[in-house]
Amino acid sequence: MGLEYLVRDALALDYGQRPETGIRIKVVGIGGGGCNSITRLSKQGINAELIAINTDKTHFSIVNAHKKVLLGEKILQGGGTGGNPEIGEQVAQLAAKEIYNILDGADIIFTLAGLGGGTGSGAGPVINEIAKETGALVVSMVTMPFKAEGKKRWNIAETSIERFRKYANTVIVLDNNRLLELAPKLPLVKAFAIMDYLIGDVIKNLAETVTLPSLMNIDFSDLVAIMRNGGTSTILYGEGNYYTPQDAVMDTLNNPLMDIDYKGATGALIHITGGSDMTLHTVYKIAEGITSGIREDAEVKIGARIDNAYTKKLKITTILTGVHTPYAPRKEVRMEPNMLQDLISIVS
Ligand SMILES: Nc1nc2c(ncn2[C@@H]2O[C@H](COP(=O)(O)OP(=O)(O)OP(=O)(O)O)[C@@H](O)[C@H]2O)c(=O)[nH]1
Ligand SMILES: [Mg+2]
């Protein structure tokens, strides 16, 4: 007989009424870039409190957030740090108590900043320290500046990453330059919007797989297990067609948003979005394909969500934790031919 009745009865149950889990998420954008990410995130619709922190008062007029905190108003008169991270650091320290009160009470705090200027790079690490004091899991998502923005900004960014790492559980580094390599025809002005959309999408996917019923949920404890000691991390992004998932897997493995050798990653959080025809079998095969490219003992968690905008399509975002220091000598990210064959046979 098989499982005919079991399958029929189980699928007839309406899981739509499952209560939300009550995980509280706060997302904090720091500096001009970070606050722009928050504004874009507010348009994506996410169940989290959005907080914008900046030294630049004028910029706030175009920022959409639940709370806005202007740092160093007495010293800077709302005029920004002029690209000086030391000033960013000092004005954040002066507002430590206010920031603590705003951040307190979350289970997860995401901090977002575009590195290379004074506010995000200088105030960001102080805000991470405060976030950590509240007892929340702290995950930072930061972007490296475009090479065209100059060496000075790049150096500020590199120094700042180390400081971000000190108190964050995981620092996800995304390199704007990789984005341009992956989509060379992208006009520079659109690149920020795409990066911000990706940042927002990753947070939204995580928030929804943790807080809302999904095809495959990630528990908060799973998230903590991967992110607690995530160190430096990055995101692989891929998309494709439901009928050839191996192509989507290849696309994902070839699209790291930081210049890394991902094979040594210690953890992976794989999130798959597909249409209502997506089966658990496909989800597992995709996850197998992706993890075959990393260490065997890596901790892996899988989340999957149905979104009817993805009928017959697939979108894969993978957070890889514990990858090697970002800007060590460049290693080629390319699959060996035999690995490619293995992958195709695993996922097809
Ligand atoms: N993701 C994203 N990054 C941006 C955006 N605008 C600028 N950036 C990046 O963020 C870096 C830092 O710039 P800002 O965020 O403007 O600088 P800031 O932190 O406000 O610092 P100061 O203005 O110097 O006090 C830039 O070098 C860009 O690479 C944006 O809209 N989105
Ligand atoms: Mg600014």
Which tokens go with 27?
A: 């997302």
Q: What is the pLDDT of residue 86?
A: 97
Q: Can you read off the two tokens belonging to residue 338?
A: 């035999």
Tokens of 117: 């200027």
Instruction: Give the Å distance between the CA of 88 and the centre of ligand 1.
Output: 13
| Ligand 1 mutation pick, 76, 91, 119, max ligand atoms within 8 A of CB | 119
Alpha helices (H) in 187-297, listed in sequence order = 188-211, 220-227, 245-253, 280-291
User: Distance between terminal CA atoms of the chain?
Assistant: 28
- 75 contacts: CB under 8 Å, gap ≥ 6: 87, 91
Helix (H, G, I), strand (E, B) or coil at 45: coil
Ligand 1 atom index nearest CA of 55: 25
The segment(s) of the chain belonging to CATH 3.30.1330.20 are 233-347
CATH homologous superfamily of domain 233-347? Tubulin/FtsZ, C-terminal domain (3.30.1330.20)
* CA distances in angstroms from 106 to 28, 49, 133, 209, 318, listed in the order given: 12, 9, 11, 17, 24
- The DSSP secondary structure of 296-333, one letter per residue, reads TT-EEEEEEEE-GGGTTEEEEEEEEES---TTSSP---
CATH 3.40.50.1440 location in the chain: 25-211
Which ligand 1 atom minimizes the distance to the CA of 153?
27
Q: Give distance in angstroms: CA of 230 to centre of ligand 1.
A: 25
Can you tell me which atom of ligand 1 is nearest the CA of 199? 1
Q: Give residue 183's pLDDT.
A: 78
CA separation (Å) from 225 to 169, 206, 230, 237? Answer: 11, 14, 9, 22
Greatest alpha-carbon pair distance for the chain in Å reads: 77
Secondary-structure percent of the chain, ordered helix, strand, coil, rounded to 5: 45, 20, 30
Query: Given this model, what pLDDT does residue 331 score?
Result: 37
- For position 256, what pLDDT does the model report? 82
Measured by CA distance, the residue closest to atom 2 of ligand 1 is 33
Number of alpha carbons in the 13 Å side-chain half-sphere of residue 17: 2
According to the model, what pLDDT value does residue 42 have?
92
Q: How far is the CA of 83 from the centre of ligand 2 (A)?
A: 8
Looking at the chain, how many residues does it have? 348
DSSP 112: E
Residue-wise pLDDT tens for the chain (348 aa)?
566 776 666 566 554 444 456 789 999 999 999 999 999 999 988 889 999 999 999 999 999 999 999 999 999 999 999 999 999 999 999 999 999 999 999 999 999 999 999 999 999 999 999 999 999 999 999 999 988 889 999 999 999 999 999 999 999 999 988 888 877 777 776 888 888 888 998 898 888 777 776 778 888 888 898 999 888 898 988 899 988 889 999 988 888 888 877 888 999 999 999 998 898 889 999 999 999 888 889 999 999 988 888 999 999 999 999 887 655 333 333 434 444 444 444 433
**From CA 297, how far away is CA 319, in angstroms rounded?**
16
CATH number of 25-211: 3.40.50.1440
* Atom number of ligand 1 nearest to Cα 123: 19
Which atom of ligand 1 lies nearest, measured to the CA of 144?
Answer: 29
What pLDDT sits at residue 12? Answer: 63
Which residues surround ligand 1 with Cβ inside 6 Å? 31-33, 36-37, 55-56, 80-81, 83, 88, 114, 116-120, 143, 145-146, 149, 153, 176, 192, 195-196
Token pair, residue 303, equals 């989340």
pLDDT of residue 14: 52
Q: In this structure, which ligand is nearest to the CA of 188?
A: 1
